[in-house]
A = this chain, B = another copy of it.
Amino acid sequence: MADLNLKSHRLEFKSALYLESGRILEPFEIVYETYGKLNEHKSNAVLVCHALSGSHHAAGKHEGDRKPGWWDGLIGPGKAIDTDRFFVICTNTIGSCFGSTGPTSPMFPRMEPYRLKFPVVTIKDMVKAQRLLLDRLGIEQLHGVIGGSMGGMQALHFAVDFPGLARHNIALAATHATSPWVVAFNKISIEAIINDPAFEGGQYDIEAIKEAGLKGGGVGRMAGHIGFLSPESMMRKFGRDYVAQDGLFDLFGKFQVERYLEYNGYNFPKWFDPLTLIYIAKAINIYDLSRGHDCLESALKRVSTPLHLFGFKRDLLFLPEEMESIAHAMAAIGKESLCHYHLVESDYGHDAFLVEIDRFSDTIADILRKDFDG
């Protein structure tokens, strides 16, 4: 087995990215990582798309890292997305805060951060930008595109917006149009951020927040953590255990689950920019695969290569029924042979696509290997 061959890249685009809103992003940059090697015919590329707080760092470790990339269990030599066979690309989506152009990037020509002058970007825009990157890399066809949650939305958009670009379109724990339930969770994050006086209407010191955090952003993230889990997985993880030194009748004494939420909540704004959170939440909120088409079925009519849909049984953010309804729509237009719906047995909750990889990795491996002769 070869090693992971992790490489980091940055590409500048001098041309404009025309956004769904009618606005443009010009110039713009995309940072991305690659794993494995591109073959001679450039036919072995697999594009991996990240979720809300994810980044282009999907696998392996950089020097000094404690933890590997967010889908390290799935990507690597001999793993389901096998870097001995495939050349894996993961970009940071535009609008995010890990290096690709987003709200904290310098705005041409004054080179001050965009902040609230950044245009609203959509999942469709994120996919369009990735398509431009593939063009620059000379990759005309992908062997596969895959992602979970917001990454799954991107995989679905690839299938509809660029039919046939990927031989396999694999979407996990996503939907075809964001439900009000998810919008409600995002609402808590957005309101908690903008209410925090330290947000300063978006004019906060971007570097200082990385040290100090932003309490509102922390509270919003706590809501996120509820959405990522399920009642069952929270019970397994924390039970009703109390923090040992706290008294049960102390008003602010804590359960373990509260300590977990505090820790993960309040640290979040230190590594994920709050303005960016508002933009990414907006992109998720207004995501609708059928926008610009008469209906979902008419959008799906464009799909020309297999669509693989994974729903997770106790995902309370993106219900498995929502993924299944895409399969029903495909069947309704006579494309059932192009669509494969998998229900993953799990009571972990939404984050199962990140945490319980062994429950679906063999299926992913089979999908990617079947008609690959690279």
Contact = CB atoms under 8 A, between A and B. Distances in A.
Most buried by B among A180, A219, A285, A286: A180
Interface string A201-242: 000000000000001101100110110011100110111100
Given A249-B21, A251-B278, A184 B316 contact: no
Contact of A249 (B120, B219, B251): B120
Interface of A: 20-23, 116, 119-120, 177-181, 183-185, 187-188, 191-192, 195-197, 215-216, 218-219, 222-223, 225-226, 229-231, 234-235, 237-240, 248-251, 255-258, 261-262, 265, 278-279, 282, 285-286, 288, 316, 319
Contacts of A282: 251
20 contacts: A23-B249, A116-B251, A120-B250, A177-B240, A179-B234, A180-B234, A180-B237, A180-B240, A180-B257, A183-B258, A184-B225, A184-B258, A184-B261, A187-B257, A191-B265, A219-B219, A231-B316, A240-B288, A249-B286, A251-B282
A225 B185 CA distance: 10
B231 A181 contact: yes
B218 A191 contact: yes
Given A195-B216, A249-B20, A181 B116 contact: no
Query: Which applies to chain A's interface (DSSP): helix, strand, loop or mixed?
Result: helix
A255 B191 contact: no
A226 B186 CA distance: 11
A219 B195 contact: yes
Nearest to A241: B180
Contacts of A120: 249-251
Nearest to A122: B249
A179 B235 contact: yes
A255 B21 contact: no
B255 A180 contact: yes
A183 B255 contact: yes
Contact of A187 (B237, B251, B258): B258
B184 A240 contact: no
Nearest to A286: B248
Contact of A234 (B181, B191, B222): B181
A279 B257 contact: no
A222 B279 contact: no
A258 B282 CA distance: 12
Most buried by B among A197, A223, A234, A238: A223
